[in-house]
């Protein structure tokens, strides 16, 4: 069979092909059912005011066998629009569910975080075998930052949450024990950091929605580089190695690192680093 690219539905008029996906697929995940979940975010279109627009409620499932595109309700459907999955992170659990963490809590404004989008602490679980209207359920919120990182006098965030933390453009990686680790991303408006330095792990064993805990912090040189550049570390390139460590390729300080998820209790224990030209074998 010759491999080739096609635009779906193959052979259909261009106008039909242009409308086939229905929404912009910023994120996509191949489910264990063989179907594809995709979504964009932008639940609030630059405002958190209620908007009755089917293009905003933009979660879809595509069935490659039948070609059908099915609308799936958002984790928090209209008219609330307080949960925007734009630039979230996601990772699969051993049972086939998809953990979705972070996203957008607000658009850029003229404050400490200037041109950066505000990260969300919200987390959801998508169940591929549940009924369409019951496929999403809330999971535990991501952790708050250290108290010294909160902006004095900060009020509620635009999505109704309180405090800092959260992640816009994070990386979520599934670990061998079934938990999920989150790296990077830009935090909430109330958070004084320009990048979320906390390394947090979600575990499914503390309630139906699981919970997040602080597992580590990124190395000081990474924090210093973020502070100097005043921009977030977005979608860090992270991979689980055969020995169980997590390899992060060329972080914002110009170094690559590997981290041991199972080293406790020191916040910086388990990190090994070298400049970006190193061989993985040295770790």
Residue spans of the domains in the chain: they are 77-282
Q: What's the whole-number mean pLDDT along residues 143-159?
A: 78
Q: What is the H or E stretch that residue 17 is in?
A: helix 14-19
Quote the CA–CA distance of 217 and 196 in Å, as a whole number: 9
- Give the model confidence (pLDDT) of 100-136 as tens digits: 999 988 777 766 666 778 899 999 999 999 998 889 9
Q: Is the dihedral of CA 230, 254, 244, 97 positive or negative?
A: positive
Q: Each residue of 75-92: pLDDT tens digit? A: 875 555 567 888 999 999
98 three-state secondary structure: strand
Residue closest to 78 by CA, chosen among 95, 56, 109: 56
Query: What integer is the mean pLDDT of 124-152?
Result: 88
Half-sphere exposure of 216 (CA within 13 A, CB side): 21
Q: What is the pTM of this model?
A: 0.88
- Does residue 184 come out as left (phi exceeding 0), alpha (psi in the -120 to 50 range) or beta? left
pLDDT, tens only, 5-45 = 999 999 999 999 999 998 888 899 999 999 999 998 766 55
């Amino acid at each position: 069979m010759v491999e080739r690219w096609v635009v779906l539905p193959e052979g259909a008029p261009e106008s039909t092909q242009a409308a086939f996906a229905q929404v912009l697929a910023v994120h996509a995940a191949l489910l264990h059912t063989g179907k594809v979940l995709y979504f964009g975010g932008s639940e609030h279109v630059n405002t958190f005011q209620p908007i009755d627009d089917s293009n905003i409620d933009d979660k879809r499932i595509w069935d490659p066998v039948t070609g059908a595109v099915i609308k799936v309700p958002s984790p928090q459907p209209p008219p609330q629009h307080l949960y925007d999955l734009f630039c979230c992170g996601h990772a699969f659990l051993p049972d086939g569910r998809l953990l979705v963490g972070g996203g957008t809590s607000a658009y850029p404004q003229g404050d400490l975080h200037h041109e950066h989008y505000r990260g969300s602490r919200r987390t959801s679980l998508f169940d591929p075998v549940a009924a369409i209207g019951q496929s999403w359920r809330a999971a535990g919120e991501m952790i708050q930052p250290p108290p010294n990182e909160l902006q004095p006098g900060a009020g509620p965030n635009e999505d109704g949450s309180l405090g800092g933390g959260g992640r816009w453009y994070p990386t979520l990686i599934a670990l061998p024990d079934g938990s999920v680790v989150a790296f990077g991303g830009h935090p909430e408006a109330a958070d004084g950091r320009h990048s979320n330095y906390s390394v947090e792990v979600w575990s499914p064993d503390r309630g139906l929605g699981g919970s997040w805990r602080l597992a580590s912090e990124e190395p000081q040189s990474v924090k210093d580089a973020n502070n100097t550049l005043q921009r977030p570390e977005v979608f860090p390139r992270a991979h689980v190695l055969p020995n169980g460590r997590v390899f992060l390729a060329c972080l914002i300080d110009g170094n690559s690192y590997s981290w041991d998820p199972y080293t406790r209790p020191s916040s910086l224990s388990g990190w090994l680093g070298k400049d970006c030209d190193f061989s993985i074998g040295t770790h």
